[in-house]
Amino acid sequence: MTKIKSTLVVTDTEIIMVRGDAVELDVQLYDDPDGEQEHEMQDGETLTLTVRKNPKGNDEEEPLISIMSEETSIRIPASATENLPYGAYSADIEFSSPRLASPVTIWPHRMPYDMARFGALKNFVIGTEIT
């Protein structure tokens, strides 16, 4: 028998989840380029998940989902997706700190030339529920 731990799939470039499920994204931050010293969130530091139908600048006013966390995890409540149509959306996660001049996009893991080439990433997928 297969054991299922979660209805969430996260890769370096994509998040796939079931509509209406509550999920938690564990975000790994490091203080060194080798990924050996794990970052501990400090006062004023935040992670923000933003999900839009299309990337900002494509005449869309408000994000469909915007969740800020002061921890290295982001909890997506069931209510955030339960009324969204099934399909693919554009998403990113930004890290903000009082030590930085502006927020830094830490996910998805794509090079800037990839983002220009792919345009609307459509990297946040909401799948159908069975029950």
pLDDT at 62: 87
Is position 85 within any domain?
A: yes
User: String of b and e for 24-40 (b: at least 16 CB within 10 Å)?
Assistant: ebebeeeeeeeeeeeee
pLDDT average, residue stretch 7-15: 86
Q: How many domains does the chain have?
A: 1
Asked if the structure places residue 73 within a domain, the reply is yes
Q: What is the pLDDT of residue 129?
A: 81
Q: Which position has the token pair 């509550």?
A: 22
- Asked if residue 36 is part of any domain, the answer here is no
Mean pLDDT to the nearest integer, 3-26: 84
**Residue whose C-alpha is closest to residue 108's, from 98, 118, 97:** 118
Share of the chain above pLDDT 70, in %: 83
Per-residue pLDDT at 2: 47
pLDDT digits (tens, 9 = 90+) for 53-96: 887 765 667 899 999 999 999 999 999 999 999 999 999 999 99
Q: Let me know if residue 103 belongs to a domain.
A: yes
Domain membership of residue 113 (yes or no) is yes
Is there a domain that residue 16 lies in?
yes
Burial class (CB in 10 A: 0-12, 13-18, 19+), 12: exposed
Query: Is residue 4 over pLDDT 90?
Result: no
Residues sharing a CB contact under 8 Å with residue 118, sequence separation 6 or more, in sequence order: 110
CATH code for the domain of 115: 2.60.40
Its domain, for residue 55, covers 9-27+41-127
pLDDT(118) > 60: no
Whether 17 is in a domain gets the answer: yes
